[in-house]
Amino acid sequence: MVTVSAVVATQYARADLSFSYTVVHPSQGFIRFIGGDNNTNGERIFQGDNGTTTFSLSFGDDITHGMNKTYTAAFAIVNEEGFKVNITDIDVAGDSNYIKVWLHGDPTQDASSEAGAVLMWDGSNGDPDNSYWTLGAGNGNPSDMSDDGTTQISTPWDYSNDVRYCEDTTAATNGTSDYVWVQVTIIAYNANMGDYSGTITFYFEASTH
């Protein structure tokens, strides 16, 4: 048996590629979060942090033991990409037994009785593994959002809470509107008195680009 090895000499050139990107405030990005309801302290639930790129949800200091508190428009998520984006999952860590999270269209209606609303986190029952919500394509402009791709709804800046916000009550439509309202229910009827906190994680996915 004869083995023949052929070696081909090839010259390679060097190619350098630069990259760049900008980190912006969560109310300004391609997937952005905007304020809606106020908390029990009279401030927006969705709050920025003095011009930084951090944000948080603050539900207030005086939720009564033994009761539930529902914010039908705790905040909204807006898509500014030029294509549809799915919100596929929501996880809650920390004191996750005492909170429910819905995605729904009508900021004035309780999502638990709203047709088409999607329960994403169910308190002590965890992730219900429901269907996802599809955000319609956006227009790349963080100063507005749209329920139909044409009619623009203003999302101005709230300098007191350092976030964009919306007080318009136009309902969002799954798959068409570039925004969705997030309803949060605080479950205090079986919680002890004290402080509760945690982290809500959102998962996004696009099938095209």
Parse the chain into domains and list their residue ranges: 31-205
Per-residue pLDDT band at 175 (split at 50, 70, 90): very high
Q: What is the pTM of this model?
A: 0.90
Place of tokens 């930084």: 52
Number of separate helices (H) and strands (E) present in the chain: 0, 14
* pLDDT tens-place string over residues 98-143: 999 999 999 999 999 999 999 999 999 999 988 899 999 999 999 9
Residue 45: predicted pLDDT: 95
Work out the angle at residue 72's Cα, subtended by the Cα atoms of residues 49 and 30, and round it to the nearest 5 degrees.
50
* pLDDT tens figures, 69-85: 999 999 999 999 999 99
Phi, psi at residue 72, to the nearest 5°? -70, -20
Amino acid at 153: I
